[in-house]
Amino acid sequence: MEAVGRPQKIIGKAALFLLLLVIYFSLFSFYGSRLFEKVFLSDTVFDENTAIGPEKVAGMTDREAAKLLNEEIENWQAQAVMKLKYAEKEIPLSSSFVEFQVRQSVDEAADGQQNRLIASVSPEKLEDELNRKMPALQIKDHIDIDLLAADLGDIGDYLKSGESVLDLSLYLEENGKTAKLAEVTADGLDSASIRFIKENPAISIKGGSSVSFNSWIEPAADKISEESLNLLSSALYQLILKTNFDIMEKNQSTALPDYIDLGYEAKVKRKKEQDFIFFNRNDYDYTIEWTADNGNVYGVLKGIPFYYTYKPELKNKKTLKPKTVLHFSPNLPYGQMRIEQYGETGLMIDVFRSRYEGAKKMDSEQVAADFYPPDHQIELYSSQEPPPPPEPEETEETDEAGTESGDETANEEDSSVDDEPPSEGEENSSSDEQNQAEDEESSSAEENNTENAQ
């Protein structure tokens, strides 16, 4: 057994020796002459067509090449603009994060070819910087920091001028690029809308493009009830309020439907050209996935996570009391009233979208001001004039043979009660009575004179 094992060991050692020789001669062909020149010919210069990074160093000594590179690095650090971008967030990154190994670059440079200017970025320092300037991103769990540091080092390798912007979304893990960002539910949809959602389970939202609800629902709009259309469009509106998408068009009813919560209505109606339209301001594409069953619908937005968190907030809610409006009609009998329209309270509320960086509220923008006017109560009253009062009834004298004292008493009472002058008829009657009395007195006097003469 030992005799068989020894030849195998000898063959292995020989193979290893030959491999080392190959590596040695390969390296010597590139760096041997330069090493020899460095040791024995210190003033030897680089050959023609030799470059380190973006700088040509042909005809230069090592010291001259190193001096040139240091000067160009200083110029680059003073002028270079480096930025890191993630969704809505963009931060500057100091060029000092790129560290250059000039001595090593010159020593390892091979004559007659393009050589790398060795530059690197510390992953640890880079992670600390991102955690400080992008605290909501959770770098450690989502970003490949080593790959990002290597790409930043490559920018330094060639002293790239101008502005360099690296999109951190390119360094996300694959499962992080299709994250669940927002969700919404609605119920009470009719069978036609459920059937449409099952046949069209997704809305594609391209970066830098707008989406129209009416365009999406158009194939089945005539079959779906108005209530279900408004339920679905309002659910989409609630979903969009949890993003940074711009709302281009949103409508509302004159009275809040009882199947939609205050502040979340997005009414649609093709005949009145009422639509719900939003715009994706981001560079990334997103998808809304729908599932529906038994009148219920569930929607979820998926894509690259936003940097900020967006939340809808309702403010300044007011209840508007109805007024009473009076109308008058001659067709209504005098003194009557009826209610033509009962009053209903109105509502108004402001819809805001607040932006958070982690738990810190950054700002808030108003998205909508929903106003549902009150229905005033209308009361109808008669405009007819009141009827004239009834005329007083005349009373007849029943005691014509009253005594003189009774008549005098009655006359006194009449004069005390009614001081108004007698009417023309009454005056004529009084004169006739007086003349009759005078005739009776004269006839009585004549009779007395005749008796005295006898």
- Higher pLDDT, residue 21 or 407: 21
Inform me whether the pLDDT recorded for 425 exceeds 90. Answer: no
244 and 125, same domain (yes or no) = no
- Is 201 within 8 Å of 216 (Cβ atoms)? no
Mean pLDDT of the chain: 83
Question: CA-CA distance, 264 to 312, in Å (whole number)?
Answer: 10
298 and 313, same domain (yes or no) = no
Give this prediction's pTM.
Answer: 0.70
137 and 120, same domain (yes or no) = yes
Question: CA-CA distance, 31 to 315, in Å (whole number)?
Answer: 73
- Give me the sheet containing 296-303, strands edge to edge: 179-187, 296-303, 286-293, 202-205
Inform me whether the pLDDT recorded for 332 exceeds 60. Answer: yes
Q: What is the pLDDT of residue 12?
A: 64
User: Is 423 domain-assigned?
Assistant: no
Which whole number is the average pLDDT over 71-89? 92
113 and 220, same domain (yes or no) = no
60 and 94, same domain (yes or no) = yes
Domains held by the chain: number: 3
DSSP conformational letter for 426: H
Q: What percent of the chain lies above the pLDDT cut of 70?
A: 77
**In angstroms, how far is CA 76 from the centroid of its own chain?**
44
Residue 260, both tokens: 């939609």
Span 137-170, pLDDT tens digits: 877 668 899 999 999 999 988 888 889 999 999 9
| Residues forming a β-bridge with 274 | 269
Inform me whether the pLDDT recorded for 379 exceeds 70. Answer: yes
Q: What is the pLDDT of residue 257?
A: 94
Q: What percent of the chain lies above the pLDDT cut of 90?
A: 60
Tell me which residue of 148, 109, 90 sits closest to 30, measured CA to CA.
109
Which whole number is the average pLDDT over 209-221? 94
Q: What is the pLDDT of residue 11?
A: 66
User: Is 430 domain-assigned?
Assistant: no
Inform me whether the pLDDT recorded for 315 exceeds 90. Answer: yes
Buried-exposed string 395-413: b where 16+ CB fall within 10 A, e elsewhere: eeeeeeeeeeeeeeeeeee
Give the CA angle between residues 336, 345, 186 to the nearest 5°: 135
User: Is 283 domain-assigned?
Assistant: yes
Domain boundary among 306, 324, 347: 306
Q: What is the pLDDT of residue 443?
A: 47
Q: Give residue 326's domain range.
A: 309-386
290 and 317, same domain (yes or no) = no
**In angstroms, how far is CA 88 from the centroid of its own chain?**
17
